[in-house]
Each structure stands twice: as structure tokens, then as C-alpha cells.
Amino acid sequence: MNMSLLKNFEKRRFDRKQLYYYLKVVHEETGALAGYLGDISTEGLMLFTKESVDLNRVFKLRINLEEEFGLKENLVFNAESVWCEKDVNPEFFIIGFKFMKIDPAGIDIISYLIKKYGFSG
């Protein structure tokens, strides 16, 4: 296992859930693909992506729940990049984000996604 990846897992303060289904995450302003959701908690998320990002940068992102699950709204949020490294597949990067401020409705949506599609690692 990649030792720097192991250190990132050890640094986590919040339990995360890995999802069976990799949801698309897009940039809210442009609709461009930001990456695919690898895991999520009510505090943050991890994306698989083709490009690296600068650390400590805030992104406005969206998970298209209408398109993917037929829900009435999408999850739109601001998240700060806190770590970024190469995946075991050298074509990809994995990026850790923490949510900046997320409202109670957003927390409910995340909790629903974890319960319905996730599992304890």
C-alpha cells in the first residue's frame, strides 16, 4: 500500500464511507467534470480525477442527484482541497476535500447516500 496514502487515512478525524457507485462530481459554474466520488462523510469527500489540484483551494462543486437518482435536488457545496496524490493507477489522482459549510439538508442528503449506497470500510 502507498505509505503516503496510509498516512492520509491515519490523519482522518472522521469515519468515511466508500460508495459502491462512483457518482460524478462537477464544477457548479461550468458543469465540467471534477471527478468521481470515491468516499464521503459529513465532513468531506474523496474524488478520483485525471488532474491534480492545488491544496487549500476552495471549489464550488455539485453532485447531480436528479440525474443519478431521480431526487428533486442536487447537492451543491463548497469544499477545500486538503490533500492530493497519485492513485495506484498512474492515470488518476485522488484528492481529499473538506466541506466548508454545509447546511442541514445537505447533511441529510449525504447521510442518505452513505446509508443507501455505502458500506463501512
pLDDT tens, residue by residue, 59-85: 999 988 876 666 677 899 999 999 999
State the pLDDT confidence band at 13, using cuts at 50, 70 and 90.
Answer: very low
Q: 46 pairs with which residues across the strands?
A: 39, 96
Q: Could you tell me the residue range of the domain that residue 27 belongs to?
A: 3-120
DSSP state of 18: E
pTM of the model: 0.77
State the pLDDT confidence band at 88, using cuts at 50, 70 and 90.
Answer: very high
Lowest mean pLDDT among 37-41, 62-66, 99-103: 62-66
Q: Look up the CATH number of the domain holding residue 88.
A: 2.40.10.220
| Tally of domains in the chain | 1
Task: Report the C-alpha gap between 94 and 112 in whole angstroms.
Answer: 23
Task: Report the C-alpha gap between 41 and 51 in whole angstroms.
Answer: 23
DSSP state of 100: S
Task: Report the C-alpha gap between 88 and 70 in whole angstroms.
Answer: 33
Listed residue (2, 3, 49, 4) closest to 25, CA to CA? 49
CA 15 to chain centroid, in Å, comes to 13
Element (H, E) at 96: strand 93-99
